[in-house]
Amino acid sequence: MPVRQMRESSEQHLVIKPHLQNPMNAAKKVPRAVQNGKGLPPLPQEPHSQTSRQARNKGRRRSRGGRKCDQGDVLMRPIVTSTVENGSTMCGEIEMGYPTSSKSFSFAPRPGYGQVGTKCIVKANHFFAELPDKDLNQYDVSITPEVSSKAVNRSIIAELVRLYRESDLGMRLPAYDGRKSLYTAGALPFSWREFKIKIVDAEDGVNGPKREREYRVVIKFVARANLHHLGQFLAGKRADAPQQALQIFDIVLRELSSKRFCPIGRSFFSPDIRTPQPLGEGLESWCGFYQSIRPTQMGLSLNIDMASAAFIEPLPVVEYVGQLLGKDILSRQLSDADRVKIKKALRGVKVEVTHRGNVRRKYRVSGLTSQPTRELVFPVDENSTMKSVVEYFQEMYGFTIKYTHLPCLQVGNQKKANYLPMEACKIVDGQRYTKRLNEKQITALLKVTCQRPRDRENDILRTIQHNAYDQDPYAKEFGIKISEKLASVEARILPAPWLKYHESGKEKNCLPQVGQWNMMNKKMINGMTVSRWACINFSRSVQDSVARTFCTELAQMCQVSGMEFNPEPVIPIYNAKPEHVEKALKHVYHVSTNKTKGKELELLLAILPDNNGSLYGDLKRICETDLGLISQCCLTKHVFKITKQYLANVSLKINVKMGGRNTVLVDAISCRIPLVSDIPTIIFGADVTHPENGEDSSPSIAAVVASQDWPEVTKYAGLVCAQAHRQELIQDLYKMWHDPVRGLVSGGMIRDLLISFRKATGQKPLRIIFYRDGVSEGQFYQVLLYELDAIRKACASLEPNYQPPVTFIVVQKRHHTRLFANNHRDRNSTDKSGNILPGTVVDSKICHPTEFDFYLCSHAGIQGTSRPAHYHVLWDENNFTADGIQSLTNNLCYTYARCTRSVSVVPPAYYAHLAAFRARFYMEPDLQENGSSGGGSKATRASGECGVKPLPALKENVKRVMFYC
């Protein structure tokens, strides 16, 4: 077999021998890209051809033929070389075009149903919705003057229906979406009509003077919804979902709840459902329920789940501010830090005035005055006659301001300043808190939301009974009938896989029980060697002797677990202050390197205070992007209270960070995993994490990991990059840009990880399995088109005709389907927490009518109700069976490196999430804190501009290992 040269992104020349024993046979196993008789757009023959996307969309996917030997023994030859270090956005790039969400191809069809596993029955929080036999009509609604508030729009249409239902509307009771669309069961007596509607200003008081406003409402017929199409889709006879019909049913069933409760997204909240619980700092939790109509194999289904959210307590503003700051503000001056905190918390919040008797006008807070109330003056006429706020309120309203040392709230328009004293305002109820919660608030909210499965099921049943859909006038009008019974669903419990440990341990193989096992009598299958390590103690409360004891015990645990670990550090434990983190890290790094005569430190242990602020993130950023150091942080509480379980878990993390493996699937090393073990297969995981609500300019972070060992598929290398704010498509999967010296250059995360797989295994991947986390259903087409295209281009840039078949699977955790045991008293059908058993898989009844999806609960519950992961196979060129992909996914969940439990999400997706989360720490400190920074690193991206500041590059030795664990 010829040996050829392969160019790496670093321009080094390497000679790699492929180890495929029979490349001809391997090539035959690779199926052609045929799915529903249609393919994605073919790649142009020349990877950098400027063929238009539209032209490519028309063609079918080209076979990966070429010379037969190309499939096996030809090395991946880069067409152009890459110098991308970490997949960061670079100026001068050639942007990949955004494919349109063309639906000329369909997602992977269900290949059949799974048969593997022990059959059982589970209950799901889905309620059958009987399909009505009525014409559904859509009308366009135009309201002038235009209103931005959905609530005001709703009150206008409610008044219209009250006045004209029995006359002009022909007794129809329409459902309204609060914006532009109105729906009826049966046609209205007109196709176009104008109405004049007067309503009282909602901002005015209950008993005070009323202000009426007149609106012009035009209702115009648009279309009739096709229920025959919906029926065929639910029966599995059509693949395209009739979105309009589904949307109508969703709006109809939300209409009454929108009037009764506080609607937020797809959920409804009320303080009457359960008594609100205080969360601290002026916040409280409200209980509510989530509701969504879904097309499933059993027909239309109403998905109901319990929900909780943080709301601002409807307190007098003075009281709220006192709680927010946690101190008495009535007699003390506010500091600048206090003002900043108040301004941040109150900006955008609605308040109502309390100093005008029955007139309770509402305003939105825009800011806070820099001066106290007693110093504020404003012009009262065109001659700029000035009057103090204190005088004005006394003269105008007879209201004496007591706390003149407090600032005023600024409300309304910033240009025309309106001042309101804090003591004259109360927070309007029903306002959700959308900013970041602190740790105490999160803990308090989790206590409210954490329900045992039986309790959650009972609450869901109470909700469906309380909503009384059989009495709902809108449901009746449209002929929708909702069952009050949870759906009973056939499920299967997949067997746990056997795990392989090192031959030198007492237990060489292990079969997990109910999703867990331990390291007793076992040794890591590939334990690494740590010869040179050091420890920095950043915790003032940890004495040297305590730190030494901890390090000694950790070293012993690493040895017992199968690593070779030098019991002595290179230098004595170094004590440092958290604020001197960079100085301390560089000092220890250089002193250690000098002492070992140029040999670099392999591992840094760091003892951190329990509340360490930005210390953890700073340490990781410096170690991984500056010094190239692998680090392991330990909190003070664990150092003082050493447990064997904690030390064992830390040793697992250290081993994989050093490049080792803790365990592998017995089936993997025995080459018995279908469509993984037969030919070299690479498994990717990808995720994008977005900044929190309220941060309007921070970049989103994309992370991609890929397996670097075959057939074990256990080690994953990871790459990260910053991209435009809230951009879900991963921009740096494949990139081309102009280099002034070398011309057109290819790079990107997929390309780099394919090359590193080749370097690590000596073989090029002949199959790609891509698990993509964090994509909502509305983005499926867009993400698949864009990212699959990027994968194809990355492969083609390495070698002409190199197109390994791809299976693209979306992983969803943020959904509201919950599975419950059929009989909560049956101990054999639940785990210790009362949840369904790990390995429970459902691919019928509540799943999609035609597409290839399934729910898998791969983990044992700890507290609360387990949330199964929802896997949706969007594209499958490898022709997986239902059993094949379900068993592979479940088995992979037992290979997660950080603990001896099966996890709830397939590890490559989990690792990508960890890597993306880690990369947030790599941003500049001011960018982390505020979500924006001055000058050039403003993280917004205009079309065609290089507006996102790239993350600092990961060091080469860090990139190769599971640094994010």
Give one DSSP letter per residue of 797-826, joined into a string: TTSTT----EEEEEEE-S----EEES-TT-
Instruction: Look at the alpha carbons of 521, 527, 533, 539 in this order and tell me if their dihedral is positive or negative.
Output: negative
Distance of CA 463 to the CA centre of its chain: 27
Tokens of 727: 């951009």
Q: Encode pLDDT of 901-942 as tens digits.
A: 999 999 999 999 999 999 999 986 554 444 333 333 333 333
Residue pair 712/929 in contact (Cβ under 8 Å)? The answer is no
Phi-psi region of 696 (alpha: psi -120 to 50; beta: other; left: phi over 0): alpha
The H-assigned helical ranges of 469-567 are 473-478, 544-560
Q: Which residue has the higher pLDDT, 931 or 126?
A: 126
Q: Encode pLDDT of 201-259 as tens digits.
A: 755 444 445 678 999 999 999 999 888 899 999 999 998 888 889 999 999 999 999 99
User: Which residues on adjacent β-strands are paired with residue 358?
Assistant: none
pLDDT exceeds cutoff 70 at 657: yes
Global pTM reads 0.86
What is residue 60's predicted lDDT score, i.e. its pLDDT?
36
Buried b (16+ CB within 10 A) or exposed e, 735-745: bbbeeeeeeeb
Torsion of CA 935, 939, 940, 943, to 10 degrees: 100
Q: Encode pLDDT of 44-103 as tens digits.
A: 333 343 333 333 333 333 333 333 333 333 334 343 333 334 433 333 344 444 444 444
What is residue 947's predicted lDDT score, i.e. its pLDDT?
74
Which residues 6+ apart lie within 8 Å of 654 measured at CB?
Answer: 530, 558, 563, 603, 632
Q: Encode pLDDT of 458-475 as tens digits.
A: 999 999 999 999 999 999
Q: What is the largest CA-CA distance in the chain?
A: 98
- Report the alpha-carbon distance of residue 731 to residue 745 in Å, rounded: 16
Torsion of CA 204, 208, 210, 211, to 10 degrees: -50
- Whether the bond between 145 and the residue before it is cis, its omega within 30 degrees of 0, is yes
Q: CB burial class (10 A; 0-12, 13-18, 19+) of residue 793?
A: buried
- Report the alpha-carbon distance of residue 833 to residue 453 in Å, rounded: 8
Sequential DSSP letters for 564-617? EE-SS-SSPPEE--GGGHHHHHHHHHHHHHHHTTTPPP-EEEEEE-SS-TTHHH
Question: 681-689 and 767-773: which strand pairing?
Answer: parallel
Fill in the DSSP letter of residue 191: S
What is residue 7's predicted lDDT score, i.e. its pLDDT?
36
Percentage of the chain exceeding pLDDT 70: 85
Q: Taking the CB of residue 258, how many other CB atoms lie within 10 A of it?
A: 19
- CA proximity to 430, closest of 202, 748, 117: 202
Which residues 6+ apart lie within 8 Å of 672 measured at CB?
Answer: none
Q: What's the 3-state SS for 651-693?
A: HHHHHHHCCCECCEEHHHHCCCCCCCCCCCEEEEEEEEECCCC
- Report the alpha-carbon distance of residue 357 to residue 378 in Å, rounded: 24
Residue with token string 């639940």:
830
pLDDT exceeds cutoff 90 at 815: yes
Q: Encode pLDDT of 694-738 as tens digits.
A: 677 789 999 999 999 999 999 999 999 999 999 999 999 999 999
- CA proximity to 488, closest of 185, 838, 161, 846: 846
Q: Encode pLDDT of 755-806 as tens digits.
A: 999 999 999 999 999 999 989 999 999 999 999 999 999 999 999 999 999 9
Q: Which residue has the higher pLDDT, 25 or 740?
A: 740
Residue pair 933/924 in contact (Cβ under 8 Å)? The answer is yes
The H-assigned helical ranges of 347-452 are 389-397, 439-449
Q: Encode pLDDT of 275-312 as tens digits.
A: 999 999 999 999 999 999 999 999 999 999 999 999 99
- Report the alpha-carbon distance of residue 854 to residue 124 in Å, rounded: 13
Q: Encode pLDDT of 798-814 as tens digits.
A: 999 999 999 999 999 99
Buried b (16+ CB within 10 A) or exposed e, 904-938: bbbbbbbbbbbbbebbbbbbeeebbeebbbeeebe
Distance between first and last Cα of the chain: 39
